[in-house]
Amino acid sequence: MSIYLALVEPGNETTAHGIAFPDLPGVHSAADEAVDILPNALEALQLWAEDEDMPLPSDMAAIINRDDIRKALAAGSFLLAVPFTRKATGMKPSHFNIGDEFIMANGWRWRITDIGTRVVVAIRIQPLVLQSKRDGKIRREEISEIEAGHYGWFDGPPYAVAEQVFDECDLEGIEEICRKEA
C-alpha cells in the first residue's frame, strides 16, 4: 500500500471541497460533503490507475516544501493522506523491469533481480527475519531494510538474502507495483 497526499481546498455552502494530488498532475475530484472527501479521493486514484502506472509517492516534506502547496496551505487548504492499493491483475513477467519492487497481498515487499519468459525472480525487502538456533532454542529477529542495506544484503548478485521464483500464477497475488526510477 502507498500513501498519496491529497491537497483539499475546503468548500462552503455554495462550493464543493476541491481535491488534487500534488504527485499526480491532472488527477482531481470534488466532494459536496466533508465525509465524502476520502472516498472521492480514493475513487479518483483508482480511475487514474486504470490507465497509468502509479509513480512512487513523494514524502510529506517534499510536498510541503513546494511553493504552490505552501500558498494553498496558508490559504486554508489541508493535506489528506489517501491510502492506495492497486490490484495488479493479469501480470506477466514482461510487465516488469529488473529493480522494480512489488507488494504481495501479505504485505511483503520484493525487488526484482531477474526476469525469465514465464517467471520473475526477486529478493524480499520487507520484512526481513533472521532465524537462528542456539542451545536448542529457535530465535527470530526482524531487522530493518536500512540495516540490511547497510550490511550489503541487497548488493548482488549473489545476494545475501535468498532469491524467490514467482511464476505466472504467483504474479496474480501482487497488490502493487513500484517502478524503479530512471
Q: Which of 38, 43, 35 is nearest to 5 (CA)?
A: 38
Determine the average pLDDT of the residues in 127-154: 83
Residue 83, all three cell numbers:
491510502
Distance separating alpha carbons of residues 113 and 164, to the nearest angstrom? 10
The string over 135-162, giving b where at least 16 C-beta atoms fall within 10 Å of a residue's C-beta and e elsewhere, is eeeeeeeeeebeebeeeebbeeeeeebe
Q: What are the pLDDT digits (tens) for 70-110?
A: 999 999 999 999 888 655 556 778 888 899 888 887 778 88
**Alpha carbons 173 and 90: distance in angstroms, whole number:** 10
Predicted confidence (pLDDT) at residue 33 exceeds the cutoff of 60: yes
Q: Tell me the pTM.
A: 0.52
Beta bridge partners of residue 102, listed in sequence order: 110, 177
Task: Grade residue 128 by pLDDT with cuts at 50, 70 and 90.
Answer: confident
Round to the nearest angstrom and report the end-to-end CA distance of the chain. 22
C-alpha cell at 139: 530465535
Measuring CA to CA, which residue among 39, 56, 144 is closest to residue 101? 56
* Domains within the chain, CATH numbers bracketed: 2-84 (3.30.160.250), 93-178 (no CATH)
| Residue 141 pLDDT grade (very low, low, confident, very high; cuts 50, 70, 90) | confident
Instruction: Write out the three cell numbers for 121.
Output: 525472480
In the three-class reduction of DSSP (H, G, I as helix; E, B as strand; rest coil), residue 40 is classed as: helix
Q: Write the CA distances from 55 to 4, 6, 14, 15, 174, integer angstroms.
A: 10, 15, 34, 31, 16
Return d(Cα 53, Cα 176) in angstroms, integer.
10
Size of the chain, expressed as the number of residues it contains = 182
